[in-house]
A and B are shown apart, each in its own frame.
Chain A
Amino acid sequence: MRYGMAIDTLKCVGCGDCVVACQTENNVPFGYCRDWITETIDGTYPKVELEFRSERCNHCENSPCVRCCPTGASHIVEGGIVVVTADKCIGCSACIESCPYDARYTHPLGHVDKCTFCHHVRDYKQTTACSAVCPTSCIYFGDLDNPKSEVSMVLKNRKFKDLAPEAGTKPQIFYLI
């Protein structure tokens, strides 16, 4: 069991619904976010390419944030999900420094916070708030180890890339291109 996402950049319109749905599902305080939208533009008018990406913690298999956490607050749970136990976190922000994706922030209450793949609903929902809300259905979430899962299927059939491969973190979020 290894949770991951494939996000279709050909469909994403960069609306930010994933960001708001995450905020309301996970009580992310105003002014903070666990996921966000990146827009990249390439070329010169009128030969211009545009790509939107919904980004978040990559739940890396080789996660520098977990390795550098002095208290074990950052750890990996079932399905390869990287989580932070707020009570154990001392807010040293070493993990924030170590993350090549800038996926973590310090919550106003002092602990570090980030995407959990909506771990809290996993017992009865095989989805995440961002994936469930996306108007273009561009976020495929599921078990990468199961070849029959939707996410595995799209990754099998489509071209994709991951972010910052040079960091060697083995991210679990893939962008369909």
Chain B
Amino acid sequence: MISTRRQFIKISTVGLGGAAVAASSLKLAHGTGLFGSDDDEQINDLKNKRFPTYCEVCFWKCAGWTHTNDKGEIQKILGNEKDPHCYGRLCPRGTGGLGMYQDEDRLKTPLIREEKGGKQVFREATWEEALDLIAKKFKKIKADNGAESIALLKHGTPGKHFEHLFEAFGSETVGEPAYAQCRGPREAGFAATFGSWIGSPEPTDIRDTKCLVLIGSHIGENMHNSQVQEMAQAIDNGASIITVDPRLSTAASKSKFWLPIKPATDIALLLSWMNVLIYDNLLDLDYIKDNTYGFEQLKEHVRNFTPEWAYNITNIKPGMIRKTAREMANAAPAVIIHPGRHVAWYGDDTQRERAMAILNGLLGSWGKRGGFYLKEGFKVPKYPHPKYPHPKWTWRDLAKDYPLAGMGLTQEVIRASIPEESGEHKVKAWLVVGTNIKKSIPHQELVNKAIEALDFLVVVDTMPMDIVGYADVVLPECTYLERYDGIRSATNREPSIALRMPAVPPKYNSKPGWWIAKQIGERMGLGEYFNYEDFSEVIDWQLQQIGSSLEEMQAIGVKNLPRKSGSLYFAEGEKVNLPTNSGKIELYSTELAAKGFDPMPLYTPHAEPEEGFYRLIYGRAPMHTFSRTANNPHLTDLKDKNTLWMNPKVAKLWGFETGEEVYLKNQDGVVTSFPISIRVTERIRWDAVYMIHGFGHTNKKLTRAYGKGACDTEMITNVKVDPIMGGTGMRENFVTFIKDSGKETKA
């Protein structure tokens, strides 16, 4: 809409004075808790209400109760005891979820970019105005270039409402960082072996396992709630944990065996484990004969991948490789080689995941107690609407170079938005909802180019994230505590559904995602797709179809439904029947072979740091989700910035001490926007450094998060794309340390 370069706007005009801010913490401190304050008179004051919700602070979607006090203010959020995602216990982020509601830095009213005296600024707008403008622009772009040229980049529950809007106007041009930047490789790797995706929550039977193997997965630092709970149960039960990680992760510290592997060499270790299991005769050959495909080929394939071979590559001693292989075999089939979650590391990630899947296949853990249970979901009936039109092209066309891509590849949508990159420049506009792509997508130079080339960019969010500053129109969504959303239905041991309803009305001038999508739709002449006044009607209709109702769910929050697909595990001796080409567990992948890829995984060496550089590894902290919680007042109390973990040997070499601040510079000469303080610790190898993802926010309007810590994504400019499914491997980036960035330092 503005022809000049798209300048980042720091939302200088935000802040309608109008709406009331949350009671100050001082006032709250006087004691209006659910059970009253510590003052005896207030004990048993149960005049408070609770409203069901499911959490939106991460994708685990734990069901809980939002408690309000007698003044109708949100007091706290507690887990729903019936919920298999949380069993009544939310994680720190879910417990602190009300910080999202309380945050005074929230987006408060729609904003429209305009030019004033040669400068681009945001102007506060009414919803009418903002929505009219979006509809007008979308209609024009649709008329000129086809609806397909408008792309949706999304994450989380609100994404669903916009997906519906997009499909209604004829676009399936969609990208989700949750796939190519995160768990896509494991879905492809496990599907090539067992015929189906792992999905979320992972069907890992951790609570009953005897041996849990984590390949760089840091359960406990990633706070995937029920999974962390089950890991604690496994510890109680005396299960052995084997953790492979160059860093002493929390999980590693709780492990019987920690294998401090040289980064980027996991596949060599996995192959040598196969070698030991097969050549030391540790396997149930009858099971393998009945249930797997390609054992002889695999046996031949791993013949030379001995522990001695792997030792040279991984730095893990042959004795330890043998010992841990035996530990797994002794536990089989109650053993889990965990697929992990964020696994887009080196570009051969599908093959690494294949190796992990093959190990599970050899050990017979698929469909077994203590291995992987046979998950079951529940299909919520679809609210009726007219048929969607057929787009001429979709995300699949953009992902055509990656035969096993199972969801829209965000980076390909981005590439298709840049004339010189795509040759075609197919994508002209974006609607970004619930994902801060300035922090979730590597290779920010491409992202920036795409943003500049766009005709129109709409951002829907609750907070002034980095990406908001680049929008033409900003729409403030209310938080999950203030809205209805679609019924949660996920696969689990037993199917379950959960309701999210508002506990309080939307604060400021914010609106629910469903309302925003409907308003845009109606303005585009798609009213028949949004045949309801309030989204609760949709939910009620859906619930009525399955013999429940909105009223019932408002009272109980979660409903667990009986399994229909049979037993949770295969019976003893029962042969597997899987949706693979062979119907069996494919140790040799017929699908990968047919598509021209290695049918069995191979180890290929990856680049190593040059002198003075260190591999950048990043991960999660249990109290934060991506970059979205970095400004949450409850969670910044726990951790308000990231630090750079550095081995003492490295620190000594550089003369650094804990607390000292440095900028990072990567192999391509890119320097972080902000400095990061060093944490000298024995928990990390000497050839790598580690930091928590999601910090180093550049938007000053995030008053608690701005300039706190550094952003790992800025350092990820070398992207190793997985040729099989298009995952963006991010761990072949190396950093060195500089004291002076040459840039203006933080304010």
Q: Which residues of A does B touch, CB under 8 Å?
A: 10-11, 13-17, 19-21, 23-31, 33, 37, 41, 43-46, 48-52, 83, 86, 107-109, 116, 119-121, 123-125, 132-138
Contact = CB atoms under 8 A, between A and B. Distances in A.
Contacts of A29: 25-26, 28-29
B34 interface: yes
B434 interface: no
Contact of A45 (B31, B223, B634, B682): B682
A41 B38 contact: no
Most interface-central of B42, B223, B248, B647 (chain A CB within 10 A): B248
Interface in B620-678: 622-623, 633-635, 637-639, 647
B32 A43 contact: no
Contact of B228 (A51, A119, A135): A135
A28 B75 contact: no
A43 B88 CA distance: 37
Contacts of B248: 45-46, 48, 50
26 contacts: A13-B221, A15-B92, A15-B220, A15-B623, A20-B637, A21-B95, A23-B637, A24-B76, A24-B77, A24-B95, A25-B76, A27-B30, A29-B25, A29-B28, A30-B633, A33-B637, A37-B638, A45-B248, A45-B260, A45-B647, A46-B685, A49-B253, A50-B250, A107-B29, A120-B39, A137-B229
B585 interface: no
Given A25-B76, A33-B637, A138 B232 contact: yes
Nearest to B35: A121
Nearest to A22: B95
B33 A135 contact: no
B258 interface: yes
Given A24-B76, A44-B682, A15 B223 contact: yes
A20 B635 contact: yes
Interface string B250-262: 1001100010100
B29 A108 contact: yes
Given A13-B221, A52-B250, A132 B228 contact: no
Interface string B86-121: 001111100110100000000000000000000000
A26 B33 contact: yes
A150 to B, nearest CB: 12
Contact of B38 (A19, A109, A119, A123): A119
Contacts of A83: 38
B574 interface: no
Most interface-central of A25, A33, A125 (chain B CB within 10 A): A25
A11 B232 contact: yes
Contact of A136 (B26, B79, B232): B232
A48 B685 CA distance: 11
A50 B229 contact: no
B683 A41 contact: yes
A119 B220 CA distance: 29
A135 B223 contact: yes
Nearest to B219: A13
Contacts of A25: 33-35, 76
Nearest to B258: A46
B571 interface: no
B96 A50 contact: no
B260 to A, nearest CB: 4
A124 B683 contact: no
A41 B33 contact: no
A120 B36 contact: yes
A123 B45 CA distance: 12
B288 interface: no
Nearest to A122: B43
B232 A27 contact: no
Contact of A24 (B221, B258, B634, B635): B634
Contacts of B89: 17, 132-135, 137
A120 B35 CA distance: 7
A133 B685 contact: no
B19 to A, nearest CB: 20
Most interface-central of A21, A86, A125, A137 (chain B CB within 10 A): A21
B573 to A, nearest CB: 36
Nearest to A87: B39
Nearest to B42: A120
A31 B634 CA distance: 8
Nearest to A13: B220
The 4 nearest A-B residue pairs measured at CB: A15-B622, A136-B232, A13-B220, A50-B253
B45 to A, nearest CB: 10
Nearest to B223: A15
Nearest to B40: A120
B228 A13 contact: yes
Nearest to B260: A46
A16 B253 contact: no
B281 interface: no
Nearest to A43: B682
A20 B635 CA distance: 8
A2 to B, nearest CB: 20
B92 A17 contact: yes
Contacts of A31: 637
Contacts of A33: 637
A23 B634 contact: yes
Nearest to B46: A124
A109 B223 CA distance: 34
B90 A17 contact: yes
A27 B229 contact: no
B402 interface: no
Contacts of B296: none
Contact of A14 (B35, B75, B622, B685): B622
Given A21-B95, A23-B96, 10 more contacts: A16-B623, A17-B91, A17-B622, A20-B623, A24-B96, A24-B634, A26-B38, A46-B248, A51-B253, A136-B229
A38 B623 CA distance: 15
B96 A30 contact: no
B13 interface: no
A48 B38 contact: no
A23 B39 CA distance: 16
A133 B250 contact: no
Most interface-central of B31, B44, B91, B258 (chain A CB within 10 A): B91
Most interface-central of A13, A41, A86 (chain B CB within 10 A): A13
Most interface-central of A14, A28, A135 (chain B CB within 10 A): A135
A43 B252 CA distance: 14
Most interface-central of A19, A28, A83 (chain B CB within 10 A): A19
A86 B31 CA distance: 12
B298 to A, nearest CB: 31
A14 B580 CA distance: 41
Interface in B9-30: 25-26, 28-30
Contact of A135 (B37, B229, B637): B229
B225 interface: yes
Given A27-B37, A45-B683, A136 B228 contact: yes
B239 interface: no
Given A134-B89, A135-B225, A20 B95 contact: yes
Most interface-central of B35, B39, B79, B647 (chain A CB within 10 A): B35
Nearest to B639: A16
Contacts of B225: 135
B684 interface: yes
